[in-house]
């Protein structure tokens, strides 16, 4: 860091040594990143957060006990469960928030944030992650579509208002218990009507919309995307799958970065100049950032110095 601000060169020179992009697609990626008329979209999922120590949502850490019954994440993260057991659902989310709070953005997050800064309005980040690490790394909220919400935000469950409210600061603490404290109940109720606040997340029994989850905007961006970089998502939810399909059908270049093959791998391999890279996002994304014109210029100056 220089002057308290992260510098692209710091990430590149700390994480890039020894890693080289396959030449078969690096030239095309460089061309698209440098073309002022080309649109670049990054799609991220749980894999990039896992590299910061946040367990994947479907892992064993997600299971929760209510009374004598054990529930899966797919059962806990529903409007139906919230309506029946709001205090238990909040206990689960606040416990998960503890994990998110302790995590730090990794090199992949910082590389995406720097792409956002360098590419400006021709860049969009579509993320399934609710952990806020992209925003903490420096991504613009205007160019970041948080299609599954953000665990830092709440809204009235009764919808007396549609406005989003920040999670109270006093709840953003390490938790020794999975139960709500008596003093926390009032903080989790709407100041307008007194109903429960709910986490601003997309639950399994809910649908994407534009107002909260940028459905139409995501499809619109995909329809204009020339380069789609997928990092750490396997395509288990519908909107990411639609985004990838739209980019593929329009002939865009797709790069899939994941530690294992997934639903998007073959589409990436068969897209023009695309590829599936079996490596971590924190390794590959800084290498992609190194192909951006401003970063290449900075790196050249650094080498001369």
Burial of 14 (0-12, 13-18, 19+ CB in 10 A): exposed
CB-based contact 19:284 (threshold 8 Å): yes
- Which stretches of the chain are DSSP H helices? 8-15, 23-34, 46-50, 73-76, 79-84, 86-102, 107-119, 133-137, 210-213, 215-222, 238-249, 265-270, 281-289, 293-304
Measured CA to CA, the distance from residue 198 to residue 143 in angstroms comes to 25
Q: In what order do the strands lie in the sheet with 197-201?
A: 165-166, 149-156, 197-201
Burial of 136 (0-12, 13-18, 19+ CB in 10 A): middle
| Angle, CA 276 vertex, CA 258 and CA 135 arms, to 5° | 45
CB-based contact 62:72 (threshold 8 Å): yes
Instruction: Collect all residues with Cβ–Cβ distance below 8 Å to 129 and sequence separation of at least 6.
Output: 44, 45, 46, 48, 49, 146, 148
CA-to-CA separations, 108 to 52, 66, 93, 193, 286, in angstroms, rounded: 10, 36, 25, 41, 6
Measured CA to CA, the distance from residue 151 to residue 236 in angstroms comes to 20
Tokens of 3: 């002057």
CB-based contact 125:111 (threshold 8 Å): no
Catalytic residue annotation: 148
Measured CA to CA, the distance from residue 175 to residue 129 in angstroms comes to 21
């Amino acid at each position: 860091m220089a002057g308290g601000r992260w510098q692209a060169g710091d990430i590149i020179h700390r994480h890039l040594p020894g890693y080289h992009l396959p030449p078969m697609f690096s030239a095309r990626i460089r061309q698209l990143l440098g073309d002022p008329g080309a649109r670049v979209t990054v799609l991220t999922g749980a894999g990039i957060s896992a590299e910061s120590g946040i367990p994947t949502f479907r892992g064993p850490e997600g299971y929760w006990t209510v009374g004598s019954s054990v529930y899966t994440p797919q059962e806990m993260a529903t409007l139906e469960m919230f309506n029946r057991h709001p205090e238990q659902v909040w206990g689960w989310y606040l416990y998960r928030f503890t994990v998110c709070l302790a995590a730090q953005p990794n090199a992949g997050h910082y590389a995406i944030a720097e792409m956002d800064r360098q590419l400006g309005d021709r860049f969009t980040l579509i993320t399934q992650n609710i952990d806020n690490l992209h925003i903490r790394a420096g991504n613009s909220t205007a160019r970041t579509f948080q299609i599954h919400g953000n665990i830092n935000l709440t809204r009235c469950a009764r919808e007396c208002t549609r406005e989003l409210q920040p999670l109270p600061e006093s709840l953003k603490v390490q938790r020794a218990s999975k139960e709500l404290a008596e003093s926390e109940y009032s903080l989790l109720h709407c100041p307008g009507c007194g109903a429960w606040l709910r986490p601003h997340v997309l639950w399994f029994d809910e649908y994407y919309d534009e107002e909260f989850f940028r459905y139409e905007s995501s499809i619109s961006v995909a329809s204009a995307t020339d380069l789609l970089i997928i990092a750490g998502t396997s395509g288990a939810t519908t909107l990411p799958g639609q985004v990838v399909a739209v980019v593929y059908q329009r002939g865009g270049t797709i790069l899939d970065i994941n530690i294992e093959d997934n639903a998007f791998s073959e589409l990436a391999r068969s897209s023009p100049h695309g590829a599936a890279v079996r490596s971590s996002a924190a390794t590959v994304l800084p290498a992609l950032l190194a192909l951006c014109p401003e970063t290449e210029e900075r790196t050249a100056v650094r080498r001369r110095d």
